[in-house]
C-alpha cells in the first residue's frame, strides 16, 4: 500500500474502534465522538483557539440530523482539523 492508502486505512480503523462501542456499529454517538476526539485528536485540537463544545461539533457534523455521525460526516471533522 502507498503511504496515503495506509493513512486512509488508519482513519477507517480508528473510526471503527470507536463506532463499535455502542448503538449502530457504523456510526458514532455523541459519547463515542467525544472519546475519539479526546484520544485521537488531542494534539491537533489543543492548537485551536476557540475549541468548540462536543455539542456544537456534533451539530456541525451531523449533516442528516440523525444524532449519529457517519464515516462521511466524521471525515468533515478530519478535513476541518487538518486544514485549521
C-alpha cell at 55: 455539542
The continuous run of DSSP H or E covering 38 comes out as helix 30-40
| Assigned CATH class of 3-83 | mainly alpha
pLDDT range class, residue 80, cuts 50, 70, 90 = confident
Angle between helices 54-61 and 30-40 (to 10 degrees): 110
- Per residue in 1-35, pLDDT (tens digit) is 999 999 999 999 999 999 999 889 999 998 999 89
CB 62 within 8 A of CB 73: yes
- Could you tell me the residue ranges of all domains in the chain? 3-83
The 10s digit of each residue's pLDDT in 20-74 is: 998 899 999 989 998 998 899 888 776 554 556 778 888 888 999 999 999 999 9
Question: CA-to-CA distance for 65 and 72, rounded, in angstroms?
Answer: 13
Amino acid at each position: 500500500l502507498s503511504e496515503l492508502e495506509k493513512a486512509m486505512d488508519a482513519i477507517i480503523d480508528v473510526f471503527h474502534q470507536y463506532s463499535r462501542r455502542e448503538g449502530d456499529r457504523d456510526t458514532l454517538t455523541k459519547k463515542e465522538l467525544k472519546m475519539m476526539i479526546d484520544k485521537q485528536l488531542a494534539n491537533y485540537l489543543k492548537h485551536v483557539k476557540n475549541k468548540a463544545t462536543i455539542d456544537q461539533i456534533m451539530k456541525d457534523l451531523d449533516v442528516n440530523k440523525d444524532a449519529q455521525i457517519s464515516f462521511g460526516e466524521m471525515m468533515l471533522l478530519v478535513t476541518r482539523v487538518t486544514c485549521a
